[in-house]
Amino acid sequence: MSSDLLLEAHGVSKSYSMSLSPRERFFEAVFGWKPDKPHHVVLEDIDIEVRRGETLGIMGRNGAGKTTLLGILGNVIEPSSGTVTRYGRIAVLLAVGAGFNPQFTGRENAELFCSLMGLSSAETAARMGVIAAFADLDDYFDMPLRTYSSGMMARLGFACAIHVDADVIIIDETLAVGDASFRVKCYERIKRMQDSGQTFLLVSHSPNLIANFCTRTIVIEKGRKVFDGLPLEGLNVYKDIRENLAAAKKPLPNVGGSDLVAPKLRLENVRFNEVSSGEGVKRGILSCDLLAEASVSNPVVSFGIRNQEGITICGYDSEHNITQLKPMSTGERMPLVLEFKNILLAGAYFISGRVAERVGDVTLTLGTHHNIARFDVVGRGTNAGLVNLNATLTIATEAHNETATETAIR
């Protein structure tokens, strides 16, 4: 066993009996007796290894089995088959308020959480101050949990999880709840803990969260692991699944610049170049042809620009354009040009496309095409971040101060 291996699961499956008989469900739960009734399979033959210092992101549609998987990894749910081996202390936040007693106060629940994590009474008492300070619940910390909002419970749960010296912290969508300022506070703490080698398992539907924080991504679909690898590639797989395109046995092609095949609509002759503008800022120009394989009354084309970490920089959707695309007949070709001001800072960027059809009040995706074009931006001055806002720093003069005062008075 590698010294940095903290968690490993092999052949993990989970199913639940569909029997409605209380007697049969009792015997199954207590004695392991399996009634001759259908079972609903939630997870099937999952293998996972988690190593020290990783931040593993788990993505999947609702009902894919993500929460069940985390419950099994965190020793909260027993698998139907397979083995899970844990080599350290694991803190689990499966859902907002899960595992907390609504009749207990926030302080009592925090003490219970620490106790369950194996901390002594002295260690628990020593942590109450920092837990209360991070949760920032004021008087509510000593009030029953039943008086809490979901955001307040998220504050308490996260504050507990990061202060029990866990080797692995498992968080299931908890960061999606609560006000923006607390989420930023959580993100900053996660970054600092990552820098010190903390290991995380995060479940999220947010591509930007996965791209920003995760070093590896797993995608779950219908109880099976369909991807395990780099976050950028995992985001592409998840996007296909979310658009109901990855259910087929044969995967959709990922092409960079060649023809892209999709039902009814397809993009051809993808080209990208940059031109200089009068403002000294280059403009990116993506040219392609939209070909209709069958008649489409209301075609829709979308483009997205992402950086090499998978973070979405900008998206464009023809559906929301003032001049929408006209109906297309079978075999018709429509030349398209996407043009944008390139104020991006240094890095590699990728453009992806989506073709769809508007039917009534629903937009039906016909195809997604990842990384059809790439462009690189070289270093630009002292600015840092994603875009160049031409920020400057000068020493203020008396004239500057007078202008600022006049603006404030208005």
How do residues 27-43 score in pLDDT, each as one tens digit?
Answer: 666 666 666 656 788 89
The β-bridge partners of 14 are 43
The Cα–Cα gap between 339 and 389 comes to: 19
Of all residues in the chain, the percent with pLDDT exceeding 70 is 82
Q: Are residues 192 and 153 in the same domain?
A: yes
- CATH classification at residue 106: 3.40.50.300
Q: Are residues 150 and 189 in the same domain?
A: yes
Q: Are residues 204 and 269 in the same domain?
A: no
How do residues 107-160 score in pLDDT, each as one tens digit?
Answer: 999 999 999 888 999 999 999 999 999 999 999 999 999 999 888 888 898 999
Question: For residue 385, is it within any domain?
Answer: no
Question: For 348-359, b where at least 16 C-beta lie within 10 A, e where not — what string?
Answer: ebbbbbbbbbbe
Between 324 and 323, where is the model more confident? Answer: 324
Question: Integer distance in angstroms from the first to the last C-alpha of the chain?
Answer: 68
Total number of domains constituting the chain: 2
Put simply, whether the predicted model's pTM sits higher than 0.95 gets the answer: no
Of all residues in the chain, the percent with pLDDT exceeding 90 is 40
Contact (Cβ atoms closer than 8 angstroms) between residue 301 and residue 290: yes
The Cα–Cα gap between 74 and 116 comes to: 12
Contact (Cβ atoms closer than 8 angstroms) between residue 128 and residue 110: yes
The Cα–Cα gap between 163 and 131 comes to: 7
Which tokens in the block code for residue 42?
């939630």
In the chain, count of helices (H) and strands (E)?
Answer: 9, 16
- CATH classification at residue 360: 2.70.50.60
Q: Are residues 229 and 88 in the same domain?
A: yes
The Cα–Cα gap between 217 and 233 comes to: 8
Q: Are residues 84 and 195 in the same domain?
A: yes
Residue 93's pLDDT band (cuts 50, 70, 90): confident
70, 72, 77, 83 alpha-carbon torsion, rounded to 10°: 180
Q: Are residues 231 and 356 in the same domain?
A: no
Residue 360's pLDDT band (cuts 50, 70, 90): confident
Q: How far is CA 280 from the centre of its chain?
A: 36
Residue 252's pLDDT band (cuts 50, 70, 90): very low
Choose the final residue of a domain: 227, 242, 257. 242
Q: Are residues 278 and 227 in the same domain?
A: no
Q: Are residues 217 and 283 in the same domain?
A: no
The Cα–Cα gap between 41 and 100 comes to: 28
The predicted model gives 157-178 an average pLDDT of: 84
Question: For residue 100, is it within any domain?
Answer: yes
The predicted model gives 310-318 an average pLDDT of: 87
Expressed as residue numbers, the domain containing 33 is: 5-242
Q: Are residues 75 and 37 in the same domain?
A: yes
State the average pLDDT for the chain: 83
Choose the final residue of a domain: 242, 273, 305. 242
**Residue at 37: amino acid letter:** K
The Cα–Cα gap between 169 and 130 comes to: 18
